[in-house]
Structure 1
């Protein structure tokens, strides 16, 4: 099973809007065993659309289109589809009744001809009824390809995918199973990780593919298995994960897309009844933002003191000016004092502190740009580590946040 996704609209090509539809459609298809082999965005130009349809015809089992179904003259998808299928547009009575009810019943205004034209569909198309909008979806078949046209409005597209498209695809096609397992690792770079698991990777069964998904401070390993027996695929994935644990167990902190480091850390803090606070300088409150993005984080996260300027470290955290003058604002000594200050003020079991030069300029310190010092105050003392995350600024901040969360996660696990 091969699918292609086509978004139609100049607004995407000029960067006016971001295409989120393709990602949603691809995930929906993947869940039912239909692999997406191509995604593309094309302009609202008839000949370009026709050429694209012709190229995809018979090379893909399913082609899903979004966009170009609005009531204005620049939306030409329906007319172009009718031409491609050697068909004509006709008014669908059910769609017209629905559009009329929306315009006259909900919006309380007379229906216009432009509104009525929303009910026009190719005569050979199966209408996918759109209860949440005025533009119907359309299911059309030509030779070996199913063309499915959906509105570009995201919530309308999602409604039709979930309630119309996916059930019809399941009914029409015999599909293989595609099963994924994503393992989240922290603290090991992509190259080093690849070296450590090379033998394991080389011995994966042929029906399992491995993909590396790196981001600052973490690497996700996605295992994808394809076959006709879902239980067998799931069992083999679990078997391979256990083998992987034996090699890099210390680096694995969670599974699947929902198990980010902040989610895993939050579960651990809640389970052990521990509390956490932060004192942030170079990360500017981003650690706190990440922690509070998790529902229920108030059970363990008590607050953050963002002491970005040197004066704030003195006034809010109570760090002596003499300490700063002696060691510099970016130093192990100041980082430790920040962590202890937050721990005392917030009355928490643990406190994270960051100070550094994220760049591009040095600011109040002499440390090299990219330098970050992370301190962790615990019930048993303070532990500090210095890093240089290079540049650019965004990379430094993101890696500092990830490393700080990894640091406390591993410290709690040890105890």
Structure 2
């Protein structure tokens, strides 16, 4: 099965909001074997919407639309549906009862005509009940293509996808299986990994595809198998993942989408009952943000000092002014004292410190823009590494965060 996902709204086209709905829908469809053929974003214009519907007719199995449903006058999707399907709007009594309950029961205000109009749907549509809001979803079929219209509000859209759309697709359509396995690697770039696994990649079965998904400091390797026999696909994926692990075990840090390095680190720290703190300058608290993005991080993460100003390094972390005078604020020596300072202050087993020039200006330091020192205090040692991550500023910060977490993971694994 193939699907096209359409977002309707000028606010997306002018960059006022970011389309996150399409990614959620595509991921939900993928899990049940429906392949997303394309994403489209179109304007709030009836002719544009009608032309798009017509261009997709019989070319894909599903067209899923978000946006253009709601209480305001510029929401036109229902009227466009009626024109495309040669239909008329009628009041759905179940939807009306739900709208009335929300407006009068929850919000405690009178029901207006605009509110009541939310219960209007094309007479031929199958209503997709929206428990989280007033605008229902709509399911309509023309020849070989199903058109599904959903509200653009993310939590409303997600509810209808999970509770109405996906169960209905599963019930009504026979679909192939799509099995994914993602291997998370750290510390080597895409081209070097490709060289190392070239023979392995060349020997993959035809029904398994490999994708390289690089980002600063890490590369995800995603294996995708498609076919009609689920057990065969799963066995083939596991067999090839096992053989891959023998080749690049030194850089593999986890598996699947949720196995990010911060998740792996959290599990390792919890298992060993160890704690971590950070003292951040050039990264501005981003390492702490990444670590605490994992649920339950309070078990092992004690806190962070964002010592962006030089005097805070001295007054809070205990960095010696002589060290700064003699070596510059961006130096291995200052990084070391920052790591020791926060380790002692927070009473942790591990501590990460960063000091560097993220750019574009030098600031208080003499070091070149892009220069970063990462210090890692362990229970027994201090490890310091120097890097030059170049430019732009965002790249320097992201690569520093990734490299710091990679250094921490390597040290923790030594104690397993």
Give the TM-score normalised by structure 1.
0.96
- CA-atom RMSD, angstroms? 1.6
Correspondence 1:65-104 to 2 at 5 A: 65-104=65-104
Post-superposition Cα deviations, 1:66-109, rounded to whole Å, max 9, x if no partner, equal 11122332111111111111222222222223223333333333
Q: Secondary structure at the match of 2:249?
A: helix
Question: Cα distance, 1:222 vs. partner?
Answer: 1.1
Q: Secondary structure at the match of 1:75?
A: coil
Q: 1:20 maps to which residue?
A: 20
Post-superposition Cα deviations, 1:215-244, rounded to whole Å, max 9, x if no partner, equal 111111111111112122112111111111
CA distance in 2 between partners of 1:222 and 1:351 (Å): 32
Post-superposition Cα deviations, 1:349-398, rounded to whole Å, max 9, x if no partner, equal 22221111111111121111000011112233222111011111111111
Q: 1:168 maps to which residue?
A: 168
Correspondence 1:15-414 to 2 at 5 A: 15-414=15-414
CA distance 1:72–1:188, shift in 2 (3 Å): same
Where does the alignment leave 5 or more consecutive residues of structure 1 unmatched?
Answer: none
CA distance in 1 between partners of 2:29 and 2:69 (Å): 22
CA distance in 1 between partners of 2:303 and 2:269 (Å): 15
Q: Secondary structure at the match of 1:250?
A: coil
Q: Secondary structure at the match of 2:38?
A: strand
Q: Secondary structure at the match of 2:250?
A: helix
CA distance 1:324–1:203, shift in 2 (3 Å): same
CA distance 1:305–1:154, shift in 2 (3 Å): closer
Give the TM-score normalised by structure 2.
0.96
Where does the alignment leave 5 or more consecutive residues of structure 2 unmatched?
Answer: none
CA distance in 2 between partners of 1:285 and 1:99 (Å): 44
CA distance 1:113–1:277, shift in 2 (3 Å): closer
- Runs (4 or more) in structure 1 with deviation over 4 Å come to none
Post-superposition Cα deviations, 1:285-324, rounded to whole Å, max 9, x if no partner, equal 2222222222222322222233222222222222222222
Q: Secondary structure at the match of 1:179?
A: strand
CA distance in 1 between partners of 2:318 and 2:11 (Å): 52
CA distance in 1 between partners of 2:231 and 2:306 (Å): 50
Question: Cα distance, 1:198 vs. partner?
Answer: 1.7
When structure 1 is superposed on structure 2, of 356-365 and 291-300 the one drifting more is 291-300
